[in-house]
Amino acid sequence: MSALSGGSPADATWRQRETVAFLANPASYGDGREAVTQVATHCSIVFLVGEQAYKLKRAIRFGLADYTTRALRARACRAELVLNRRTAPELYRDVRAIVRGADGRLRFGGPGEPVDSVVVMRRFAQADQFDRMAEEGRLSLELLRALGHLVARFHLAVPPRSGFGGAHGLRAAVEENHRELLRVAEPLRASALPVLRGRTLAALSTLAPVLDRRRDAGEVRRGHGDLRLANICLFQGRITLFDCLEFDETLGTVDRLYDLAFLLMDLHMRAARLAAPVWASYREIAADSGAHEVLGLFLSIRAATRCYALAGKAMRATSPDPAARLMADARRHLAATHCFLRRPPDWLDQPA
């Protein structure tokens, strides 16, 4: 998602400079003996202190996410806590308010003027995130099969939701992808984006009755919404899904296979052999006879979403080598959108 009038991450940091300074100060946390480490993302700044992490949402607005006011950030923090406790209750601890006391100084909670909010999480090793483990060849067959089972149980435990999904909901995702891809078209060297949009909408039109039947049969649920390897970790030895999409109910309430498709696409783009055991084990718990019809389209749309995210990250990179690698990966995802539409991956037909 591209930043709109809310400004850039740098602008957001400037507007929240007092809050950032407070969170970066070891004295803000008890006796002040713990060092504070900052990890910046496009949406947040995470402050690592001892065994805990304090996640501050940047005062920034994107196409579908608005964090520009204190009240909006506080609401997003509360939603993040509630939604992520479904899959990571040990990881997500609390939402803490930052207030200005009568002495003018910032502090956590208590009487005073509300200034901002943070999500408080348990800290975990970045080496235990599944994207890092995939890069290092540490995703075993056992782990991948367990991951498929875990996601299936999560999807079946979430109740169906009416008023979301179906062909109409997926069309909105296609159009959002197209708008965001147009923003990065020049550095992406993508001149045929209208062709991709047309092919995707044609496939969507063909499958509209199927998608609507799936919605009416209860397959649309409030899932994770951003089920990529970067949002899965090992915590205390258990596979844990975290950092789900909290800012938009429409984007997060989707066909369960569309939710799963982000993970399958991410695995496939790294190595097709990684996707196969997750898909096979998912079906052992949550069988779906209509999957073959829709998953090619779902994978294509997810690849397009990842494409513009990678291209945007490349444009924000501060050194040329990482930027070049990210943009090359973005182009690879763009090519995959067409491949998924033409022919679903071979592992889709492999027996469970």
Share of the chain above pLDDT 90, in %: 84
Cα 348 to Cα 56: distance, rounded to the nearest angstrom: 39
- Contact call for residues 278 and 268 (beta carbons, < 8 A): no
Sign, CA dihedral 119-120-121-126, equals positive
3 state DSSP class of 108: strand
CA neighbor of 241 nearest in space, from 140, 149, 110, 311? 149
| Other residues' Cβ atoms within 10 Å of the Cβ of residue 121 | 23
Q: pLDDT category, 43, cuts 50, 70, 90?
A: confident
- Predicted confidence at residue 5, as pLDDT, reads 41
All CATH 3.90.1200.10 domain ranges of the chain, comma separated, are 130-349
- Predicted confidence at residue 11, as pLDDT, reads 58
* CATH class for the region spanning 130-349: alpha beta
Query: In whole angstroms, how large is the CA radius of gyration of the chain?
Result: 21
- Predicted confidence at residue 12, as pLDDT, reads 56
CA neighbor of 252 nearest in space, from 55, 90, 65, 71? 65
Q: pLDDT category, 281, cuts 50, 70, 90?
A: very high
Cα 312 to Cα 296: distance, rounded to the nearest angstrom: 25
Cα 235 to Cα 86: distance, rounded to the nearest angstrom: 15
| Residue corresponding to tokens 């924000």 | 316
Q: Report which of residues 243 and 12 the model is more confident about.
A: 243
Arithmetic mean of pLDDT, 15-30 = 93
Cα 59 to Cα 79: distance, rounded to the nearest angstrom: 17
Q: What are the backbone dihedrals phi and psi of residue 266, each rounded to the nearest 5 degrees, phi first? A: -60, -45
Q: pLDDT category, 128, cuts 50, 70, 90?
A: very high
Q: pLDDT category, 42, cuts 50, 70, 90?
A: confident
pTM, 2 dp? 0.91
Query: Strand ranges (DSSP E) for the chain?
Result: 36-40, 44-49, 52-57, 92-100, 106-108, 113-122, 220-222, 232-235, 238-241, 253-255
The residues, ordered by sequence, that sit 6+ positions from 113 with a Cβ below 8 Å of its Cβ are 99, 100
Q: pLDDT category, 191, cuts 50, 70, 90?
A: confident
What are the pLDDT digits (tens) for 78-122?
Answer: 999 999 999 999 999 999 999 999 999 999 999 999 999 999 999
Using CA atoms in the order 249, 257, 231, 86, what is the torsion angle rounded to 10 degrees? Answer: 60
CA neighbor of 227 nearest in space, from 302, 284, 165? 302
Cα 135 to Cα 154: distance, rounded to the nearest angstrom: 26
CA neighbor of 295 nearest in space, from 346, 334, 226, 244? 346
What are the pLDDT digits (tens) for 302-343?
Answer: 999 999 999 988 998 889 999 999 999 999 999 999 999 999
DSSP output for 245-311:
--S-HHHHEEEHHHHHHHHHHHHHHH-HHHHHHHHHHHHHHS--TTHHHHHHHHHHHHHHHHHHHHH
